[in-house]
Amino acid sequence: MDSVFVRGASDAGIYVGQSRNIVVRNSVAIENVAGIEIENSYDADVHDNLATRNTGGILVFDLPNLLQMGGRNVRIFENVVVDNMTPNFAPKGNIVASVPTGTGIMVMANRKVQIFDNMIGENGTANVMIVGYRFEQKDPKYDPLARDVAVWGNQHEKAGWDPKFAGGDMIAKALGGSLPPIFWDGAGGEANKPYIGDLVPVLNLNLADIAAQPDTAQPTIMPPWMTSVEELPPVTLPASMEAVVR
């Protein structure tokens, strides 16, 4: 998808699901529930886009009970993800109806997701949210945890002053009135900790039990941490496809 403009969708403005070898670039998503959504997909580059005035700017999800699961290898880079404060107007029961207003970039139950060199700010819940899938499901093949997520080199502006998830206002009050720009639900514990290279505080909700809900959190603030992470290779489109999109 190249040079797309989408406005006002009650689900995702720009959506790619159960696919592979994906490029979403040079596009604008404004005033949707989800600006850009990559769902249950493999090998995606999302770059040079503007996601603004949505409920959530860019979402990377993996959901159960679908033919293709195990979403992985997603790079989100060089995007502008700002002012995503539109109240959620998705139909009840839609998965994006659970996205908190004020979400910049959200990774849920996906793996090997790399978020780097973006400008992210003015998102009232969080600039970057890394969470597991916390809804009831009975698919034995499904992994509900977000794994191997790395965040580095991003420019963060204001975030976290108006969190819209259960218990978020109480956590913000306990932390002095707002949440840090990045938060992780803590699912999977220390062994599943994402790699954070951005020089901003990180909120860990310490929800080691995937069934636990955010209003039962025991939050702690963690400093950024980053070990060596091998950057995923870029998605290469067939030459014939590049000729079409250019």
One-letter identity of residue 225: W
Residue 7 vs residue 226, higher pLDDT? 7
Q: Which domain holds residue 53?
A: 5-245
Band (26; pLDDT cuts 50, 70, 90): very high
Closest CA to 116 of 82, 74, 88: 74
Residue 220 vs residue 215, higher pLDDT? 220
- DSSP 8-state symbol, 129: E
Q: How many Å apart are CA 13 and CA 162, to the nearest integer? A: 24
State the total domains in the chain: 1
> And the tokens for 209?
């039990």
CA–CA distance from 159 to each of 66, 77, 126 (Å)? 34, 19, 5
**70-86 burial code (b ≥16 CB/10 A, e <16):** ebbbbbbbbbbbbbbbb
Band (240; pLDDT cuts 50, 70, 90): low
One-letter identity of residue 196: I
Band (211; pLDDT cuts 50, 70, 90): confident
With beta carbons less than 8 A apart as the criterion, state whether 60 and 118 touch. no
Residue 126 vs residue 223, higher pLDDT? 126
Q: How many Å apart are CA 145 and CA 133, to the nearest integer? A: 7
